[in-house]
Structure 1
């Protein structure tokens, strides 16, 4: 799959993800991948009702990233490295957050699933472009 198409699909999925997060965040936080990771790792899952303002802020940020991916998909090869590295950075920082000592209480099953998804996207982009 060409990387421009991959960028466009990632952008569309981010916008749909953000919409779901804004309207029904429990669908994300209680999804099968998150429940599996929570079971295997012992990391907690988010409670969608605990911080609705956080859910909305995350939805806004994710939608913004999605629109950026869609626009970048139309800009040609020069835009790709920035989005590759942006996804790598997101994946690494999310992973590092999860492996902090449990006393920090920052890691979660959702965050590690999110980290894996961004790393997988960056890997697919690497395979399709570099």
Structure 2
């Protein structure tokens, strides 16, 4: 059973310092749609199972990415989708949402998800990985 909608949004709202739950929800929808285009298979399904249902569906029916976006382009894509957003605010949006996603995922699943993503996403999730 995934995290409840209210708890998830509340966490995003706190971390992103959003004035309203609506702003937090908009950030979460955008970032999860982009993330869903980057992760596939069992790991994506497992992550979806740990998210509130509405967000799980967004993750599972993603915008199709032609190619994996590096972290800078992921942030720019987020900025493009959120009205009035800049790259600076979008970076904030991405980090707020992905750090809550990381909490939902747990370390083991997150490690597997990071293997599917271009380098640097560990920082966006707020979970810097040691580079051995």
- What TM-score comes out, normalization by structure 1 length? 0.33
Instruction: Judging by fraction of residues, say which structure has more helix.
Output: 1
Report the structure number with the largest CA radius of gyration: 1
- What TM-score comes out, normalization by structure 2 length? 0.32
